[in-house]
Chains A and B, each alone.
Chain A
Amino acid sequence: MSNNVSVNVKEKKANPFVSLGNKIASFFKNLPSTLNKKLAGAKEIVTQGNGKVCASMCIMGLGQLMYKQWAKGIIYLLCQVAFLAYFVLKGASDFIGFFTLGTTESNAWVGIEGDNSVIMMLMGLLSIVAIIFYIVIYIANIKDCYSIQCSVDTLKEPKPFKKEVGALLNQKFYKTALALPIVGVCVFSILPIVFMIIIAFTNYGGDIVPPKLIDWVGLDNFARILTLGQFAPTFFKIFGWNILWAVLSTAINYFAGLALALLLNKKIVKGKTLWRMFPILAYAVPGFITLLAFKYMFSYGGPINQMITEAGGTAIGFLDIDAGWTAKLIGLFANAWLNIPSSMLLATGILSNMNTDLYEAARVDGASPFKQFVKITLPYVLFATMPVLISQFISNFNNFGIFYFLRGAMYMDGYFLASDSDLLINWLYNMSINNNYYSIGAAISIIIFIITSVISLSVYVLSPSYKSEETYQ
């Protein structure tokens, strides 16, 4: 039974949340046995290991040297020396600095060069990474020494060093090849996320930027956003509009794309490739160009207002600060224009994979085209595209470009550094990049992430793709 479930999970490859959830669940389920296994392995090394393994435990590489594995022993020894040198000279103080975030404030009058809390935060983070890295090498060193002992005990020659290096281009080529991508992703994708999470728990931002000292404040930033007069009303107003925007724009883009795909799929339509070229053309033009074009189109001097004035009307500020719903509707329209082509392409691909026997049967039974759509096409397409639909929802929820280009940073009365069409992500930008509210911005980022993951996870769990997996298999 449990085996069966895990097979199904594998097939639902496209949704990270479900696999993550399952992973967490199985992690906790398997935790005791994994721990036991690890402990047993450690116990084996401790009890069975001879003096040379103990030597490696005390000084890295010593055991390998005693086994006459010179190159490996020296490399491990050098690692140990390098780490100790780093830790004594810099690492230890960096590590402590991560928790204190600086103690002496700079004072230009007295000539004290104070601590820079942001640099200390980053360096402290790096020292933690270095410590983890050292522990990994240390364990590898002991395991390596023990494996040498095992092969010597069974009267085999331990592997020569040359062969082990050669393996890095052969059996273990993946280690060599993946090293660079992994470092890149760690530094430029994971480190910013960690750094952002850390900042959310400090008071960095506003007046408190280096040379002033920054401090840990726990959950204060979150409490301020959700309760304090300055942030809370703006947050909830923007949040409401953001949800509405994400639902509306996702639904519009999705169903219009599906409708367009069905329309072009009709048997009576000739020259399908030609017709499809128009949406693809719209898809190919970079989004910022289209958005700026729409901004010009609806501006005061733009063609629409020109026609209005020529007809004797007065120009309308479609995107003005007090435009209200017109600006929001223009945003929805521009977003639809940008995203319908891709959902059309997706729906076309899925429809072409669809089994047409069902329609034949439905026609024999006398089902109307509308009924065929509701009972056959829609469930199938929804089922197949649920993961994409969720990721579209998330990207719409965090759609920065639309209102940034159409309206720019406008600050409205009743909003704190935002306007009525801004989404949370725009607010975040206004706060942290334009106005230095770094810690509040970081806290908003975390809140956005929690909201999007909770919504998409619950949508997925309630969806037909999750409830009945075998329907179309």
Chain B
Amino acid sequence: MKKKKLFKPQKLFNIAITYLIILAVCFVFLFPILWLVLASFSKTGSIYSFKGFFPTEYSFDSFVRLFTDTQMYNYPKWFANTLFISIMSAFIGTALTILTAYCMSRFRFKSRKAMMKTTLVLGMFPSFMTMTAVYLMMTQFNLINQQWGLILIYSAGAPMGYLTQKGFFDTIPSSIDEAARIDGASNFKIFLKITLPLAAPMIVYTLLSSFVWPWSDFILPQLLLKNKDLWTVAVGLMTLPTDEFSRFAAGAVFIAVPIVIFYFALSKFLISGLSAGAVKQ
């Protein structure tokens, strides 16, 4: 191998180019977000009053107006709706997902393989494709303009993404179960007293990730909630006109911040979850 000198011109050039590209890329990713955040602190509100990209004066007015001026755009109400739908879906969906993953990981039964393949194939249908049918069905079941209709759809769809959780249960050694079984515990008891406490981090992850979907979804609420007072934040923000730009920015920042914090806190899980179905082993 060649000996490396510390400041070889060619290497210096290489470093400079690399950092230049990295800085450019980071700028591209940061810029729209920075733009939104700064716009949310603008004083005037309309996008037309900006000089170029950024507002000329800054204040907290948009945030104050967001929560006080609710005549036309009832953001607090939208926010409460979103929170209710997301929390309910997260709890029900997590319970169903954990149960499914546990069974798929610990039991070997006749239809197991068939069920796993069915969920994979069902996943190939983009959920959006059946929206006509979902819409018609919900009309017939009288679940249009009902927040529970949305919660049902979100939580019933959650168990389809059980693979990450199943992978986690696979890593809990089954010798623990065996020991408890010899002591006479039933499978139900083992699940409650041993598996669930061990799976606490996974449960937290599942809770949060099934919280995010309803939190930032717009298709289903847009389809099923026609009444303005039932809207979620996503639907509400879509209807804001151009001269309410800083209100939009403030509302967007307000709902994006919790998710961003969650993503950074869980970025480790995130990467393994992304590649769980992908990496061949």
Spell out A's residues near B (CB within 8 Å). Answer: 11-14, 16-17, 19-20, 23, 118-119, 122, 166, 169-171, 173-174, 176-178, 180-182, 184-185, 187-193, 195-196, 199, 260, 263-264, 266, 268-269, 275, 277-290, 292-294, 296-297, 299, 301-303, 306-307, 310, 337, 341-342, 345-346, 348-350, 353, 363, 383-385, 387-388, 394-395, 398, 400-401, 405, 425, 428-429, 432-433, 438, 441-442, 445, 448-449, 452-453, 465, 472
Contacts and interface: CB of A to CB of B under 8 A. Distances in A.
A299 B117 contact: no
A177 B102 contact: yes
A20 B118 CA distance: 9
A400 B272 contact: no
A363 B53 CA distance: 48
B36 A293 contact: yes
Nearest to A188: B156
Contact of B130 (A193, A275, A285, A306): A193
B255 to A, nearest CB: 7
22 contacts: A16-B120, A19-B120, A169-B187, A178-B99, A180-B96, A185-B119, A185-B122, A185-B159, A185-B160, A193-B122, A269-B19, A280-B263, A280-B267, A288-B238, A289-B237, A289-B255, A337-B32, A345-B270, A387-B278, A401-B218, A448-B129, A449-B124
A275 B22 contact: yes
B191 interface: yes
Contact of A173 (B120, B132, B188, B270): B188
A122 B117 contact: no
B124 A284 contact: no
Interface string B243-277: 00100110010011001101110010011101101
B33 interface: yes
Interface stretch (B62-70, B72-80, B134-142, B196-204): B134-142
Interface in B180-218: 186-189, 191, 215-216, 218
B132 A442 contact: yes
Contact of A199 (B1, B129, B133): B133
B248 A287 contact: no
B160 A289 contact: no
B200 to A, nearest CB: 19
Contacts of A119: 140
A150 to B, nearest CB: 20
Given A286-B256, A384-B280, A395-B126, 20 more contacts: A14-B278, A16-B124, A118-B140, A169-B186, A173-B186, A174-B109, A187-B156, A189-B127, A192-B134, A196-B130, A199-B136, A263-B22, A275-B22, A286-B234, A289-B256, A299-B47, A303-B47, A349-B271, A349-B272, A445-B130
Contact of A337 (B29, B125, B187): B29
A466 to B, nearest CB: 12
Contact of B275 (A17, A306, A350, A438): A350
A189 B274 contact: no
B25 A349 contact: no
B126 A296 contact: no
Given A118-B136, A174-B109, A296-B248, A349 B186 contact: no
Contacts of A171: 187
Contacts of B189: 169
Contacts of A122: 137, 140
Interface of B: 1, 11, 14-15, 18-19, 21-22, 25-26, 28-30, 32-33, 35-36, 46-48, 50-53, 96-97, 99-100, 102-103, 106-107, 109, 115, 117, 119-137, 140, 152-153, 155-157, 159-160, 186-189, 191, 215-216, 218-219, 223, 234, 237-238, 242, 245, 248-249, 252, 255-256, 259-260, 262-264, 267, 270-272, 274-275, 277-280
Given A301-B48, A384-B280, A345 B274 contact: yes
B161 to A, nearest CB: 11
A184 B278 contact: no
A288 B216 contact: yes
Nearest to B28: A337
Contacts of B107: 173-174
Contacts of B234: 286, 288
A169 B152 CA distance: 26
Nearest to A169: B188
B263 A284 contact: yes
Nearest to A271: B22
A209 to B, nearest CB: 10
A12 B280 contact: yes
Contacts of A384: 278-280
Given A286-B256, A345-B271, A433 B135 contact: yes
A453 B135 contact: no
A399 to B, nearest CB: 9
A277 B267 CA distance: 10
Chain A CB within 10 Å — which of B133, B137, B249, B277 has the most? B133
Given A122-B140, A277-B264, A296 B245 contact: yes
B103 A350 contact: no
A281 B99 contact: no
Contacts of B52: 303, 306-307, 310
Nearest to A266: B18
A20 B117 contact: yes
Closest A-B pairs by Cβ, 8 of them: A286-B216, A184-B156, A16-B120, A284-B263, A169-B188, A196-B133, A188-B156, A173-B187
Contacts of B238: 288, 292, 405
Contacts of A192: 130, 133-134, 137
A301 B47 contact: yes
A282 B32 CA distance: 9
B50 A306 contact: yes
B273 to A, nearest CB: 10
Contacts of B218: 288, 401
Contact of A189 (B47, B109, B156, B259): B156
Contacts of A307: 52
A268 B18 contact: yes
Nearest to B219: A400
Contacts of B25: 260, 263, 278-279
B25 to A, nearest CB: 6
